[in-house]
Amino acid sequence: MYSGQIVFAQLMDFLPRHEFNQCVRRYRGDYRIRGFSCRDQFLAMAFAQLTYRESLRDIETCLRALKPKLYHAGFRGKVSRSTLANANEHRDWRIYADFAQVLIARARQLYAGDAFGVDLDQTVYAFDSTTIDLCLALFPWARFRRSKGAVKLHTLVDVRGNIPCFVHVSHGKMSDVKALDHLVLEPGAFYVMDRGYIDFGRLYRFTQAMAFFVVRGKRGLDYARRAYHPVDRSTGLRSDQKIVLKGPKTSTLYPVELRRVTYVDLETEKRFVFLTNNLSLPPLVIAQLYKCRWQVELFFKWIKQHLRIKAFYGTTANAVKTQVWIAISVYVLVAILQKELPLPRTLYEILQILSVTLFEKTPIFEALTSPNCRIEDTTIRNQMTLFDL
């Protein structure tokens, strides 16, 4: 019989302890804290994400039922809903945001060699936002409509591995295009966005930073064609043009050449117009890059279905951001686990298995790779057989 660590402790061993302590010290998270440390808070919230807990009372009840095993799981403080609620409300959410970035950097290294459907060496990011509805009476800081609250998660995803690299949590009224101001642009990288992010003043910042964007164009754009390149219409391409903007405002905001690529999906016959500041890639690659934008939509769908970010354990902005960043940390941790072991299972399968085996004394690799779980029947049968088979 295996007599080592429980699965939860083995999973938490993948977290870099030194870097976590650095993030805590940076924001004085454990200053004058005696009983319930930032690590205890992280472990409790990670447990809630992995086992789909509904509320603080739910977390408290389940962890107290496992009290003999909590020390071996890494907990050093007493877990209670009031203590956890206070920690979520007052401890700086940037502790967990910075620590998530440590995990993200590690995950991106592991997934750097993965293919994503386009033969391209440069990094490709997909950028979009998703809205999470809230009750305005409980979350008055997250105003969205007159009688409705919401928060937005503005997310940048590395399409290699579908790893979130940047997340900005805002109130629901913040427009998507303003989130571009918070991006730190990487020279040479491609940023793929929907047409909601067309702001030529902000897009010009990409060109100045030597980064590339691919964005879906809007109708009614005032432009002049400078050059035209022939295309293979059998691939769905319809045009490949170099243009300059002619509008009195847009021509000032974006004074250099743009590229305009028109593409028709051969299956749905839907027409797309793409704008980009990359003038050298084949036009079909530009269309393929925009198709990668769907990765961020899949990421939003996955975390909403399998992690706790649609219902929150606290009502303050700090509590919401803390929960979001710990949920992202758990997502990235599972992605790291998948690569480092390595595992033949999907992230969904790994998460489901972890949810029911966290406090079992089983090697984590065995728990996640066993094709079927057989339970030996060790009971002594004293009852006689009634029928001969």
pLDDT in tens, 283-339: 999 999 999 999 999 999 999 999 988 889 999 999 999 999 999 999 999 999 999
Report the alpha-carbon distance of residue 93 to residue 91 in Å, rounded.
6
All residue ranges of the chain with pLDDT < 70 are 1-3, 371-389
* Pairwise CA distance, residues 240 & 259, whole Å: 7
pLDDT value of residue 370: 73
DSSP code string of 275-306:
EES--SS-HHHHHHHHHTTHHHHHHHHHHHHH
Structure tokens at 368: 């996640």
Give ∠ CA 41-106-369 in degrees, rounded to 5.
Answer: 80
Question: For residue 88, what pLDDT is reported?
Answer: 95
Instruction: Please give the Cα distance from 340 to 15 (Å, whole number).
Output: 12
Neighbours of 210 (CB within 10 A): 12
Using CA atoms, how far residue 162 sits from 70, 298, 346, in Å, is 33, 9, 13
Confidence at residue 373, expressed as pLDDT on a 0 to 100 scale: 43
Q: What is the pLDDT of residue 3?
A: 59
Cα Dmax for the chain = 94
The predicted model scores a pTM of 0.89
Instruction: Yes or no: say if 96 and 42 are a contact pair by the CB < 8 Å rule.
Output: yes
Confidence (pLDDT) at 371 = 66
| DSSP bridge pairs for 121 | none
How would you classify the pairing of strands 223-228 and 212-216? unpaired
Task: Of 246, 248, 255, give the one whose Cα is nearest residue 201.
Answer: 255
Q: Output Rg (C-alpha) for the chain, integer angstroms.
A: 25
Find where tokens 């100045």 sit: 208
The string of pLDDT tens digits covering residues 92-118 is: 999 999 999 999 999 999 999 888 888
Q: CB–CB of 48/313 below 8 Å?
A: yes
Provide CB contacts within 8 A for 162, sequence distance 6+: 295, 298, 299, 335
263 vs 266: CA distance, rounded Å: 9
Phi, psi angle pair for 346, to nearest 5°: -80, 165
Q: Which two tokens stand for residue 281?
A: 């890639």
| CA atoms in the 13 A half-sphere facing the CB of 366 | 11
Put residue 165 in one of left, alpha, beta given phi > 0 → left and psi -120 to 50 → alpha: alpha
Average pLDDT, the chain: 91
Q: Which residues contact 235 (CB under 8 A, 6 or more apart)?
A: 284
Please count the other Cβ atoms lying within 10 Å of the Cβ belonging to residue 10. 18
- What one-character DSSP code corresponds to residue 385? P
Express the helix, strand and coil content of the chain in percent, nearest 5 each: 40, 20, 40
Query: Tokens in use for 247?
Result: 């509008």
Name which of 70, 50, 77, 78 is nearest 6 in CA terms.
Answer: 70
Phi-psi category of 243—alpha, beta or left, where left has phi over 0 and alpha has psi -120 to 50?
beta
pLDDT of residue 35: 84
Residues with Cβ within 8 Å of 386's Cβ and at least 6 positions away in sequence, in order, are: none
Phi then psi dihedrals of residue 102, to 5 deg: -65, -45
